[in-house]
Amino acid sequence: KAGVTQTPRYLIKTRGQQVTLSCSPISGHRSVSWYQQTPGQGLQFLFEYFSETQRNKGNFPGRFSGRQFSNSRSEMNVSTLELGDSALYLCASSLDDREAFFGQGTRLTVV
């Protein structure tokens, strides 16, 4: 059974640009969540999607957005990138909200 797949693994972007990260959940999982991990702030919840609807949202500015498609794949977008957006972005999928399976993450570097 394939795990959670995140693409790309590494990204380098320039301040002011936008970026789109992709996450393919485990087959059959309808919930997809996104987290940002930085050395200073640790792991912080961005948002969660369930059956194409945003179910929960963390405390991030509107530059951070996401969506989920009918096949449960999810994307997150960050517009007008800032240096502070440099982080490891983790996606997790869940079948029943009792166990989240994480992908390898996308390492975003903003220069």
Partner 1 sequence: AQSVTQLGSHVSVSEGALVLLRCNYSSSVPPYLFWYVQYPNQGLQLLLKYTSAATLVKGINGFEAEFKKSETSFHLTKPSAHMSDAAEYFCAVTGSGTSYGKLTFGQGTILTVHP
Give me the residue label for tokens 């951070």.
Answer: 64
What residues between 17 and 76 interact with partner 1 by CB under 8 A? 31, 33, 35, 42-43, 45, 48, 50, 55-56, 58
Paired tokens of 3:
């795990």
Q: Angle at the Cα of 27 (from 94 to 70), degrees rounded to 5?
A: 85
90 lies in the binding site for partner 1 (CB under 8 A) = yes
How far apart are the C-alpha atoms of 38 and 13, rounded to whole Å? Answer: 17
101 lies in the binding site for partner 1 (CB under 8 A) = yes
If the CB atoms of residues 78 and 106 are measured against partner 1, the closer one turns out to be 106
- Cα 50 to chain centroid distance, Å, stands at 14
Q: Which residues bind partner 1 (CB under 8 A)?
A: 4, 6, 31, 33, 35, 42-43, 45, 48, 50, 55-56, 58, 90, 92, 94, 97-105, 107
